[in-house]
Structure 1
Amino acid sequence: ATEAKNVQGVLDLAAEIFKQTVLWIPTAKLNKAFEAIKAEKTGAVKRKAGWPKIYYVTQIAVNPITILMFVNNPELFEENYRRFIINRLRELLPIDEVPIRLLARSHRNSG
Structure 2
Amino acid sequence: MNNTIEEGKSTAITAYILVVGALIAMSMNAEHKNPYASFHIRQAMGLSILFVAIGYSISGFADPMITYPFWIFMAVLWSYGIITAIKGETTPIPLIGNFFQKFFKKL
- Please, what TM-score do these two structures have when normalized by structure 2? 0.32
1 or 2 for the larger relative contact order (CA 8 Å, sep ≥6)?
2
Larger radius of gyration: 1
Structure 1 length-normalised TM: 0.32
Bigger share in helix: 2
